[in-house]
Structure 1
Amino acid sequence: MTENIRLDEYTKMLLEERKKEVIKKDPINEKNLAKGEGLTSPTSAVSTEETRILMEHIMQKNLFITINSQPNRKKELMLKKFFKMKRNQQVEVYSKHGEDTKYSLGKVSAVGRDFVMLTNLKDRMWIPYQAIESANIPYGIPTYNNTHQHYLYDNELRTKLITNFGATVATRDILVQQFYEEKLRTNLQSWKGTWVEVVVEKESLTGKITETTDDTLKISLLNKKIDIPIKEIEYIESLRFLQILIKLFNKGT
C-alpha cells in the first residue's frame, strides 16, 4: 500500500535530500555522445522567459495554421489547447445533457484526444469534446500559468525521464496524462470497476464499468449488462456510495 504524504512534508523531505546531493559534472565526450549518454542541451540560447514567450507564440501560430487547413477539427483543437493551458486549474464547462445544458465546474485533471476530465472534492466528470458547447474560466479566478514545478523538481525523476522516458512514464498515471493524449475509451478502461452515470441523448444509464472496446462502453447494473456506443456519450460522472444506493432504490421501485 502506498503511504500518503502531504505536499509540505514531501517538499521538506525533497529539499533535505537535495542538500545531500553531490553535484558532479557530466563527462560529455565523443564516446558518450555516440552512445546517447549524458544530459540534453538547453532548450535555446536565449533566456528562459524569452524562450517561453517564443514557444507559446509558435504553438499558437501552428494551431491556427492547422485549423485553417482542417476546419472540421477546429472545435476539437481549440478545446484541447484551452484545457491544456488550464491543466490543474478550475474551469467551467457547458455541455449537452440530453435535451438540456449541463453546467460543470471542476479542475482540469486529464486532457485527452477527444475528451476532458474534470474533478472536484466529490466527483469526477468525463466530457467528450463533441458534447461541449462552451468552456471558460470562472468569474473572479485569475488567469495564470502553473509554473511552480519548474522551481522545485525531483532530480531522480528528471534523470529517469531523460534516460528511460517510455518505461518511466508508463508506471505513473499522472505522467501518462502529462505526455500522452488518451482517447475516452482508453481512459475509461483504466477506471474499470468504477460506478458511473452515463448520459446519452435521451436517457441516463447507471452501472459499473466492466470493459471498453473500440466503439463501446460496457457497464453492468446488478445482473443487467448495458452496451453504450462511445460516440453517443454526452457526459459521464462518477457515483459515490450513497448515490449508488439511491439509484438502486429508484430502480427497484
Structure 2
Amino acid sequence: MEKRQQEMVKEDIINEFNVKKGLGSTSPTTGTTTEETRLLMEYIDRANMFTISKHNELKGKMLTYRKFFKSRRNQQVEVYFKCGSMSIYKEGKVSTIGRDFVMLTNLRERIWIPYTVIKSANIPYGIPNYSNTHQHFIFDNNLRKKLLYQFGETVSKRDLLKQQFFEESLTTNLETWKETWVVVFLDEGLKRVGKIKKIKEQLLQLEFLGKSMEIPVKEIQYIETIRALTVISEIWKSLSITRRT
C-alpha cells in the first residue's frame, strides 16, 4: 500500500478532460501516447501483411491491394493489369473495394478488375495524396438507431453501408447491376457483350439479342460498362454477320 502511494502519478490530459465532461476516466491501452500507439498498430498491421505475403503470395497480394484501395477510396488511382498477354492501363476513381476485386469509375465507364490480374496499382503522377479522413460515413441519430435495432435490414438497403460493413465478392456485387450493359473480357481478343441477367453458381449470365450466354466468373479478366451508342454498334455488327451467313 505504501509503495502504491509512492508511485508517480502520470499526467493524463485525455482523462482530465473526460472527467470534466462527466465521462469518467479509463485505463490507458498502452504505456505510450495515443499517436505512438496508432503508429505502432499501423506498423504491426503492415508487418503482418508482409509476413503473410512471404508465406502465401496470392493471399498477401489480395490483402495488399485491398489495403491500398481502401486508403484511396473515392480518389484517383492508376491500375496496370493483364488480360491474357496484353498489358492494360486504367485510371479512375476508386468506387468499390471488394473481397476479390476493385471497381473504378471515370467519365466514360465503370470497370471491375479482379485482384488476381492486377500487376501494379499507384497514385497517378500529379494527383495530391489526400488523407482519407474525409472518407468516414456520416451517421445521423436516426441511422444509428436503425443500425442498432435493424442492422441487417438497414445495411441491405444501402450500397454505401454494405461497403462500409462488408467486403462483397465480385459475384455479389454484379448481382446489384442486373440489366446493365457490359463487355466482359476473357482473354486477349476474346470478349462477350450483353446485359447482365443474373449470377448463379459462379456463372455470370448475359443476354444479347434474346440469346443467353453463361460465363464462369473465374475466367473473367475484367468488365466494363458500355454506352448506348456502343450497344447499338455491337448489335449492328452482330446483325451484319448474321446476314452474311
Say whether the fold is shared (TM-score over 0.5): yes
Picking from 84, 93, 104, the partner of 1:118 is 104
Corresponding residue of 1:243: 230
Unaligned runs of 5+ in 2: 1-21, 241-245
Picking from 146, 152, 158, the partner of 1:166 is 152
Corresponding residue of 1:10: none
Corresponding residue of 1:94: 80
Q: 1:116 to 1:210 in 2, by over 3 A?
A: same
SS in 2 for 1:245: helix
Mapped contact 2:73–2:135 kept (Cα < 8 A): no
Provide the rounded CA distance (Å) in 2 between the counterparts of 1:43 and 1:234.
Answer: 48
Unaligned runs of 5+ in 1: 1-24, 27-40
Q: 1:50 to 1:151 in 2, by over 3 A?
A: farther
SS in 2 for 1:244: helix
Mapped contact 1:98–1:199 kept (Cα < 8 A): no
- Runs of 4+ that moved beyond 4 A: 41-52, 149-153
Q: CA deviation at 1:47?
A: 7.0
Provide the rounded CA distance (Å) in 1 between the counterparts of 2:139 and 2:34.
Answer: 17
Picking from 186, 208, 212, the partner of 1:221 is 208
Q: 1:51 to 1:250 in 2, by over 3 A?
A: farther
Provide the rounded CA distance (Å) in 2 between the counterparts of 1:225 and 1:43.
Answer: 61
| 1:177 aligned onto 2:163 | yes
Q: 1:140 to 1:216 in 2, by over 3 A?
A: same
Q: 1:74 to 1:151 in 2, by over 3 A?
A: closer
RMSD: 2.9
Provide the rounded CA distance (Å) in 1 between the counterparts of 2:86 and 2:57.
Answer: 27
Mapped contact 1:94–1:104 kept (Cα < 8 A): yes
| 1:208 aligned onto 2:192 | no
Mapped contact 1:98–1:203 kept (Cα < 8 A): no
Provide the rounded CA distance (Å) in 2 between the counterparts of 1:218 and 1:43.
Answer: 54
Provide the rounded CA distance (Å) in 1 between the counterparts of 2:198 and 2:55.
Answer: 36
Identity over aligned pairs, percent: 50
Picking from 61, 69, 82, the partner of 2:47 is 61
Picking from 87, 98, 104, the partner of 2:90 is 104
Q: CA deviation at 1:73?
A: 1.8
Q: 1:126 to 1:74 in 2, by over 3 A?
A: same
Q: 1:110 to 1:152 in 2, by over 3 A?
A: closer
Q: CA deviation at 1:238?
A: 0.6
Mapped contact 1:217–1:228 kept (Cα < 8 A): yes
Provide the rounded CA distance (Å) in 1 between the counterparts of 2:127 and 2:145.
Answer: 35
Q: 1:135 to 1:151 in 2, by over 3 A?
A: closer
Which has the higher Rg, Structure 1 or Structure 2? 2
Provide the rounded CA distance (Å) in 1 between the counterparts of 2:178 and 2:99.
Answer: 20
Provide the rounded CA distance (Å) in 1 between the counterparts of 2:28 and 2:161.
Answer: 21
Mapped contact 2:77–2:91 kept (Cα < 8 A): yes
